[in-house]
Amino acid sequence: MPRTPTAALGGGCARMTRSSKFEQILRGRNSVLDVPRAAKVRTGVQEKSNVAPKRIPKVWEWGASMVTVQGSWLWRELGGWCPGNSACLSAQSTMPSFRTGNGDVLSYEDADGAMQMGVSGILIARGALITPWLFTEMKEQRHWDISSSERFDILKDFTNYGLEHWGSDTQGVEKTRKFLLEWLSFLCRCIPVGLLEHLPQKINERPHYCMGRGYLETLMVSQNVDDWIRIR
């Protein structure tokens, strides 16, 4: 089933427009953690309506030790950095800031390109769910044509960690299955390097129905939930 965008539910980047709830979350986090806390904000929820310059000073007041700023609006916008970043950062002068180059990073080329924009560093979210080996590719500056068996080993590790954490009883199995299927809804978006017509894959690209180089790979690039169940 199609997902309802988090912002439409008042979460995600829309949380910064709900100042009371945002404050409760940050102050609540401060009450249970004894390590420095960071908060990540976007420039805003709607284009040409930057909320971050007003919100950043409050984030500092509510107990964050550092703020990271992503210069884009909603997740469906491709490209993670825009001039709005500068306006956001000028809203505060004493609070440690981390101007991020995140937004749709799915390859080492994307990461390198972001770093060339003069950012402090990179945050990666969905890209790591689609290709968990992305960090190895970034470190080694290469594309990894990871085999279906290697991908399956990652899934087995994930499942074992889930059962170890939640238990192997009925409730633990159901909890692990829930998160496994949720992750597979991202992992299936990865088009194996050996099947790509051009490199690198962009985060908005989806694999069309295709035959993999083996039965397991075919299941892994399928958009069909029944195939994900067969994998597990």
Encode pLDDT of 129-178 as tens digits. Answer: 999 999 999 999 999 999 999 999 999 999 999 999 999 999 999 999 99
Q: How confident is the model at residue 211 (pLDDT cuts 50, 70, 90)?
A: confident
For residue range 3-29, list pLDDT tens digits in order.
444 554 456 667 777 888 889 998 999
Q: Indicate the range of 84-93, 107-116, 148-157, 200-209 predicted with least confidence.
A: 84-93
Considering the entire predicted model, what is its pTM? 0.74
Helices (H), the chain: 19-32, 52-61, 84-89, 108-115, 126-130, 134-140, 148-166, 170-187, 215-220, 225-231
Other Cβ atoms within 10 Å of 145 Cβ, number: 12
Averaged pLDDT score across all residues of the chain: 81
pLDDT at residue 94 in the model? 60
Asked if residues 131 and 190 have their Cβ atoms less than 8 Å apart, the reply is: yes
| pLDDT band at residue 229 under the 50/70/90 scheme | confident
Q: Are residues 40 and 99 in contact, defined by beta-carbon separation less than 8 angstroms?
A: no
For the stretch 33-60, pLDDT in tens is: 888 888 888 777 766 667 777 888 888 8
Show the domains of the chain with their CATH numbers: 6-124 (3.20.20.70), 148-231 (no CATH)
pLDDT value at position 223? 86
Q: Provide mean pLDDT across the span 220-230.
A: 87
